[in-house]
Amino acid sequence: MSQSLLPFILFALVSSISPGPTNLLILAHGARVGLRASLAPIVAACGAAAAIVLMVGLGLGELLLRHPLAQQLMSWAGVLWLSWLAWKMLRSAAAPLQAATAQGFSALSAASLQVVNPKVWLMAVAVVGVFAAPSLPVWQLA
């Protein structure tokens, strides 16, 4: 168990700090309103990612393997979602930084973004596939 702890910690560190949409939005939010106001989105994003790892470890990945149609539906939903976001970004007018509102990036937005982020799902599958021992329950990953 202790032999896999360091690789697990390094994997978790690298996968959590790599640039992604949630990290970049939280960084921009923190630059605008400060660290204290960014703590709720940070905790929510981490909690959502941990929940996804738990769901995959408890069998969601196995469920998707048994139902290929669900996989295809999720894939097409992701394609549509990312296409819609790309279209919205393409059609939106750039606003100067001074005109940016301070409404912020909420904890719910951060958690929701983690749920639709393909990188988080791939990380969850990798964590469970590499670090979960078949003979151990999922809550004893490391």
Asked if residue 91 is part of any domain, the answer here is no
Number of domains making up the chain: 1
Asked if residue 89 is part of any domain, the answer here is no
pLDDT-based confidence at 94, cuts 50/70/90?
low
Kindly state the average pLDDT of the residues 108-124: 86
Radius of gyration from C-alpha coordinates of the chain: 18
Asked if residue 63 is part of any domain, the answer here is yes
The proportion of the chain whose per-residue pLDDT surpasses 90, expressed as a percent, equals 8
The proportion of the chain whose per-residue pLDDT surpasses 70, expressed as a percent, equals 79
pLDDT-based confidence at 99, cuts 50/70/90?
very low
CA angle 85-100-120, nearest 5°? 40
Distance CA 109, CA 124 (A): 20
As a whole number of Å, the end-to-end CA separation of the chain is 6
- pLDDT value, residue 39: 93
pLDDT-based confidence at 103, cuts 50/70/90?
low
Asked if residue 96 is part of any domain, the answer here is no
Q: pLDDT by residue (tens digit) across 27-63? A: 888 888 889 989 999 999 999 998 998 888 888 877 7
Asked if residue 130 is part of any domain, the answer here is yes
Note down the domain range covering 125.
2-69+104-140
In one-letter notation, the amino acid at residue 81 is W
Asked if residue 7 is part of any domain, the answer here is yes
Kindly state the average pLDDT of the residues 75-85: 75
